[in-house]
Amino acid sequence: MAEAERIIGTPDTPDAAGNGQERPGEAAPGERADAEGAPAPAGESGTDAAAAGASGTDRPEATPGRPRGKRRIAVLFAVALFAYALDLSSKLIVVAKLEHHPPIEIIGDWLKFEAIRNAGAAFGFGEAFTVIFTMIAAAVIVVIARLARKLYSLPWAIALGLLLGGALGNLTDRIFRAPGVFEGAVVDFIAPKHFAVFNLADSAIVCGGILIVLLSFKGLDPDGTVHKD
């Protein structure tokens, strides 16, 4: 038997045969390494794309033209309160110290302090329309108060504050001074030469209006955005 086995030879086992041959469908060790290091084709990494899309949607998109900064409501009412207090205190002093007295010369004949009662609009215009001017002043105050919610611009806050303070100053005279409610005469005392007599409330209204015109020409809106026509 030993001699026969020597002549015929010991047959190879399946495991031994498989060690030297490549199995069908199995890549060589070098090819497997290349396949593992190669990037995945486009369209096969669906989970990665979905994750990237989800992370992109979590980021808030910037809105073009959105107002920046904080609201300027405090500045608006601070300027209005300052203008109103200055106007009211000046009128109280004029009525107490200057009314029924000779004018006080400030710069010779060019500028005087002279107390008068004005039933019309600013600078003495339209004395026959006292009630109408009172309603206009009240409407201006309401409009400015509503606009304050969208106020982000500091220059606009100052301009509207001047308007609001001046309107409140003259409206106070219209309501509480003689001859009656909504028909009261406004106290004026600043009397330049060859010009109408006015008060500090009129000055605040005019300065606020001029500032609004300049801001509009520059393209600055009350919400802080800038537009170019």
Q: Which two tokens stand for residue 217?
A: 């020409």
Q: What is the pLDDT of residue 176?
A: 92
Q: Is 58 a catalytic residue?
A: no
* pLDDT for the residue 68: 58
Query: Among residues 58, 202, 223, 229, which one is catalytic?
Result: 202
Per-residue pLDDT of the chain (229 residues; tens, 9 = 90+): 444 444 445 544 444 444 444 444 444 444 444 444 444 444 444 444 444 444 444 444 444 455 556 889 999 999 999 999 999 999 999 999 999 999 999 999 899 999 999 887 655 565 656 778 788 889 999 999 888 989 999 999 999 999 999 999 999 999 999 888 888 899 999 999 999 899 999 999 999 999 999 999 999 999 999 987 6
* pLDDT given for residue 22 in this prediction: 45
Alpha helices in 11-129 (DSSP H): 14-20, 29-37, 46-58, 73-97
Provide the 3-class DSSP secondary structure of residue 198. Answer: strand
pLDDT of residue 91: 97
* Residue 41: per-residue pLDDT: 46
CA atoms within 13 A on the CB side of 194: 1
Considering the candidates 48, 173, 188, 229, report the single residue annotated as catalytic. 188
Q: Among all chains, which residue has been given the structure tokens 């995945």?
A: 40
In this structure, the strands spanning 104-107 and 111-118 are: antiparallel
Tell me if residue 109 is catalytic: no
How are strands ordered across the β-sheet holding 186-192? 104-107, 111-118, 186-192
